[in-house]
Structure 1
Amino acid sequence: MSRRHSSFIRQRRIAYIALGIMVLLLILCFRLAWIQGTAGIHLSLYGGHSLKEMSVRQRQEGIAIDTGRGQFTDRHGQPLTGGVVWTPVLFPDVDGQAALHGQELAKLLHTSKGQLLTRWKELQSPLIWRDGRGEPVQIHPNEAGRLLKLAPSLIELVPYAQRYRDMPNGKQWLGFLYERGERASELPMGAAGLERTLEPLLSGVGETFVSRSVDAQRRPLTHVPLRVSAPSNSHYPLQVQTTIDLPLQEQIEKLTESNHLTEGAVVVLDAGNADVMAMVSRPFYNPIHVDPQQKTDWSNRALKAVTPGSIFKLVTAAAALESGVVQPQEQFHCHGAYGKYGLSCWKEKGHGTLNLEEGLAVSCNSVFAHLGERLNAEQIQSAASALGLSRTVGWQDRNLAGLPQFRPLDHEEKGAVFGSHTNASDPGVRVQTAIGQRDVLVTPLQAANLIVTLLHDGQVHAPRIVKRISYADGSTLLELPAHAAPLPQGSRSIRTSTAHTLREAMEQVVTHGTGVSLRNKTWKLAGKSGTAQALKNGHPINHQWFIGYGPVERPRYAVAVLVQNASAHAANQATVLFGQVMDLLAQSS
């Protein structure tokens, strides 16, 4: 091969190589353009950041300070959840600088030097500093500057969203949250109360983070300020306005404490539409520290059914009037002992001669034993259903916001009149039922709503605890209007005349009956007392009740008070507490 020919071949190879390099460079350019453009848009859609932003985020360390969950307010817009506390966040100590002021830092952070430095040494990511109970430590403003000066860039103070106040209260209707897991993506969920029943609406669209920039060795870039990132959605988190009057709720909680009420409930309803204005359950619970196994604390006693005792005599009287087995002025004779079924009146020597209204006023067992024998089981059950008992009455909607069964009141019990295996044809069973014993079960909510029903001449309302659900910008997502509770199929409301007779009897309860101690209260009141006998651990106890309304001239509130598991020989504490609650309502009106 000639030298000239060999040179030609070499030049051609060089040209091919150059052409290949140009093609490769061209491909790389197109690829880079695609990454910066198309791929960048793709990342922005799904992660919210371009490649340039992602590279910055890789040099940031941050922590969530707000889950983005929806919040609750009372009827006046006063917050029920969502307080903010300034709490310290500890960042990894790459150079061991924390040890220089370990003792002073530990004192400010309410811990020991050894525990603090050990925890700090193990840090791989930012940590919200918490106390021994697991709650974020709150830093007093006077200590903030000193803390930051002792550990510059190792500690930052951030506004942390604390959902509940760390103290016991009687707002079990609000509920609590539980942690689903260790991963950040597993946000807390509602475990009870409104937190659970409204969970699909409360979960939100993302957390709020606070972060700071660091170098490759994870040392802070002190010239770069802290960065807060939150979902850019003007509609979330949602805001739930309840019907609760928070000052009233808290004042009644204090009343239950000063009266040493250990078990029971107080319910206050708006007499006009049955809105729940206050609902207090004892014992109190702390929504931050809940033991799911200890239901006695976080269970809402206002929605749990217990034996009603003599307040059920209102139902028996309604059944007797509706079925025509008694006339209002018919005379009964009480001698103390009834003579059958081992029954006797609470007044040993009897009440003498009295009519139906008088029998209700003094809560005579003999009068209602006679009515129990005259009535059949269907008549008693029908009257109970017509008055909103033996069924759930809380506000509900079958298809609100796509939810198949929307019931804000969590685990409301139905109660009962007769047990499933009870022989209701036995007159002895009906006599015990007529005085509110045997299998009869009523919730405090139902008892208060029974009063509202009588004030509305027999129309049963559905107690409402949520009024409105709004977007973050204030616009309305859902209105939950007050409405009547539907009657069970085949049932009818009681007559206006029956409701009128029962209201007059409740006035007599206070003027000269079992509620005479309420005569000198701020308002003129009406109501009905009750004492249900039961056994607890083999020992006799009483469930004490008082239900009623006020002021009589223009009723504004219906109230039910239940004192559970009281001593069998104790005076009716429920009557005392009812009077105090009514005085409180009169003062605040």
Structure 2
Amino acid sequence: MWRKRAAAWLFICITGLVLLAARLIQIQLVDTETFSKHHVNLLEESVKQRTQELVIDNGRGNFLDRNGTMLTHKMVSVLVLFPFLTKLDWDIEKVSAITNIPAADLQKAVASAKKPFAYGEPDPIELTDSQTKKINGLNIPGVFAVEKKFERSSVPAEQLIGLTGENPEELARRYPNKELSEKTLIGVSGLEESFDEFLLPEGKSKLVYHVDGSGAPLFGTNVKYVDPANPFYPVNIRTTIDKTIQEKAEKLVDQYQIKKGGLVLLNMEDNSVLAMVSRPAVNKKDPYSSAGITNMMTEQQIVGSVFKTVVAAAAIDQNLDDPMRLFDCSKKINGNPELTYNYGMLNFSDSFARSCNRTFGELAQELQKQNPNALEEYAAKLSLTGSVGWQGEVFHTSNFKQLADEDKGRVFLSDEARTDSNYAAMSGIGQHEVRATPLAVANMMATIARGGKKEMVRAATKIEYKNGTTMIDFPENSLAGETISPYTASKLQKLLREVVVNPNGTGRWFQDLPYEVAGKSGTAETGKYENGQQLHNKWFAGYFPYQNPKYALVAVNLDVIDSEGGVNQLFADMVKMLYENDQR
């Protein structure tokens, strides 16, 4: 009996040792970089226990503006100090003299530090090139002047660029075949999300030194610089944003207290986004659960009278724009007397300039009788519905979208609405179910200004390797589908200019601007109320200079009462700013 018990215990012990050995092999040799379901990098964690480090660059790719300036981050030359300096007799006075930082402040900062730090973080003191050379010329162990990557306190075009965060579950879902740390940052919105696969880090750049249990140097004061040493990564996304124009546009939007809305500015030369401002701004304390993360410029909105541009295009092609025909603009679209905007009898051109609802309600009904799909077809021809952001084949992705979170516009939601004359009249003035993004409205203006040529809107022109060479180009692409004829575009151009030059036009405020403007206003009823007052979306969409178009601009203020929240002054100041910028 005792032999059986001994044999059983021996078997249990051997089995336990085998399992223990297997576990050790798994930990030490097999799953060293992706241990457990949390994919813990045991090599990194073991190094952390016996080292202290300062990350200089987290390794994630960067976003640049069209001129090569970093948008989300900045590289700053800073003074880096290591805690072990408290155990050394170092020349603090020389460091103080070079940096103009009092010696007492340096000493106090080092004494309270538990890990390496850039002096003055989170707003470090920036060193000049001369100061950087002098500091490193001192050769003091634990004292360095290095260029470190910092996130900007205010990121231009933040909703367009997007946000990043840690999300282990989403990381595993997106990249099941990649061995990545749970703490790897991934894009959760905007371009950060669209380009996420290209932006993933190859590794961090950091200063490292080894310590014992008390934090004292283990191998002397030898600090090592650790870098992935890959000349190609991290990559840079070259956006189309002009940082200077973007920052000025954001100041103007905030100056006019736009709480919900913003603007889109397109460079018509290559149909790209020069500036995009969305409000509300991102809440830094709680970015992912606030409305600020939403890019209002790529979200569908009620467009109101801006949609009359679509009705006008269809009317021109169907010969419904007879200049001798008069419309009774003393009535609303339902036939009741128009008490607020009683314009009397107006022809087609004056109706457009003064934005007469009766005219375009009637025209929409006539178009519907001829073809129930007419409004939708012309909205598509003017790129107002569907996606307008750049998309195409990139590597293994056949339908890569730069603006992955872009909404599509629409005219009708049901066949019933499509064939109902009352709904047609409401749709003709941009109400009922009509929706479009401010980005698509801007692209509609650019399409008209170009004579009917539809193009995709780019937010990025290329992906560049770290060494500056091109990894991927995003060429100018035409939008698929039919478009309006050059003749129709020419007549629309004159109508849009008449909005400004007509003494009674809704854009007459823009007559004295340094650039000649053509465009269309819009005031849409949202169906929402605040303190008993109806809320509206206020629009002005246009392009300029009229004779030689260069810019398409949309300014919109959402959910404001009728007597407030206009966008005319914002649009005008943007035109003035761009004119002054071009003169320089």
TM-score range normalised by the length of the shorter chain: 0.7 to 0.9
Matched, 1:583 2:576: yes
CA distance in 1, matches of 2:223, 2:548: 59
Residues 1:215 and 1:480: Cα distance change in structure 2 (over 3 Å) = same
**Structure 2 unaligned spans of 5+:** 1-29, 35-45, 90-101, 133-139, 170-179
2:149 to 154, 161, 164: 161
2:278 to 262, 276, 281: 281
The answer as to 2:276 corresponding to 1:292 is no
Is the CA contact (8 Å cut-off) linking 2:142 and 2:223 kept in structure 1? no
In 2, are the aligned partners of 1:67 and 1:187 still within 8 Å (CA)? Answer: no
Aligned to 1:191: 188
- Secondary structure of 1:540's aligned partner: strand
Please report how far the alpha carbon of residue 289 of structure 1 lies from its aligned counterpart in structure 2 after TM superposition.
4.5
- Partner of 2:376 in structure 1? 381
3-state DSSP class of the match of 1:573?
A: coil
Structure 2 contact 167–182 (Cα < 8 Å) conserved: no
Number of the residue aligned with 1:396: 391
- Pair 1:62–1:435, CA change in 2 (3 A): same
C-alpha distance in structure 2 between counterparts of 1:493 and 1:78, whole Å: 36
- Check if 1:242 corresponds to 2:234: no
- State the distance in 1 between where 2:420 and 2:516 align: 41
2:423 maps to: 429
Contact 2:142 2:221 (8 Å CA) reproduced: no
Residue identity opposite 1:582 in structure 2: V
Which entry has the higher C-alpha Rg, 1 or 2? 1
CA distance in 2, matches of 1:507, 1:527: 6
Question: Partners of 2:391 and 2:285 in 1: how far apart?
Answer: 30
CA distance change for structure 1 residues 458 and 109 in 2, over 3 Å: closer, same or farther?
Answer: farther
1:197 deviates by 0.4
Deviation track 1:378-418 (CA, whole Å, cap 9, x = no partner) reads 01110001111221111111x30222431111310002111
The residue number in structure 2 matching 1:518 is 510
Superposition pairs of residues 172-321 of structure 1, within 5 angstroms? 172-180=159-167, 186-214=183-211, 218-220=215-217, 224-285=221-282, 289-294=285-290, 296-321=291-316
Retained in 1: the 8 A contact 2:205–2:226?
Answer: yes
Please report how far the alpha carbon of residue 157 of structure 1 lies from its aligned counterpart in structure 2 after TM superposition. Answer: 7.8
Say if 2:474 is the partner of 1:480: yes
- The 2-side partners of 1:56 and 1:406 are apart by 39
Q: CA deviation at 1:343?
A: 8.0
The one of 114, 124, 131 equivalent to 1:138 is 124
What SS class does the counterpart of residue 269 from structure 1 fall into?
strand
**Cα deviation digits, residues 252-296 of structure 1 (max 9, x gap):** 11111221221112111112331111111112226x6442111x2
| SS of residue matched to 1:278 | strand
SS at match of 2:188: strand
Cα drift, residue 375 of structure 1: 1.4
Deviation at 1:225, TM superposition (A): 3.5
Residue pair 1:345, 1:365 contacting (<8 A) in 2 also: no
C-alpha contact 1:170 1:284 (8 A) present in aligned 2: no
Identity across matched positions, percent = 29
Correspondence for 2:537 among 511, 532, 543: 543
Matches within 5 A, 1:61-80: 61-80=52-71
* Structure 1 counterpart of 2:176: none
Q: Residue 457 in 1 paired to residue 457 in 2?
A: no
Gaps of 5+ in 1: 1-41, 47-54, 98-103, 145-151
Name 1:527's counterpart in structure 2: 519
Q: Which amino acid aligns with 1:333?
A: F
Shift of 1:180: 3.3
1:358-387 residue CA offsets vs partner (Å, 9 max, x unmatched): 211111111111102101130111000111
Evaluate the alpha carbon distance shift between residue 224 and residue 168 of structure 1 in structure 2; reply closer, same or farther with a 3 A threshold: closer
Task: Give the CA RMSD over aligned residues.
Answer: 3.7
Give, in whole Å, the separation in 2 of the partners of 1:416 and 1:251.
32
Contact persistence 2:52–2:116 (CA under 8 A): no
- C-alpha distance in 1 between matches for 2:399 and 2:336: 46
Q: CA 1:157–1:422 in structure 2 vs 1: closer, same or farther (change >3 Å)?
A: farther
Q: Letter of the aligned partner of 1:266 in structure 2?
A: L
Distance 1:217 1:260 in 2: 54
Q: What is the deviation of 1:319? A: 1.7
Structure 2 partner of 1:323: 318
- Cα gap change, 1:586/1:189 in structure 2, threshold over 3 Å: closer, same or farther? same
Secondary structure of 2:63 counterpart:
strand
Task: Please tell me whether the aligned partners of residues 329 and 357 of structure 2 are also in contact (alpha carbons under 8 angstroms).
Answer: no
How far is the alpha carbon of 1:523 from its aligned partner? 1.4
Cα pair 2:373 2:418 within 8 Å, conserved: no
TM-score, normalised with respect to structure 2: 0.77
Q: Which amino acid in the other structure matches residue 206 of structure 1? A: G
- Identify the residue that residue 508 of structure 1 maps to in structure 2: 498
* Secondary structure in structure 1 of the residue aligned to 2:315: helix
Partner in structure 1 of residue 352 of structure 2: 360
Structure 1 residues 106 and 307: CA distance shift in structure 2, 3 A: farther
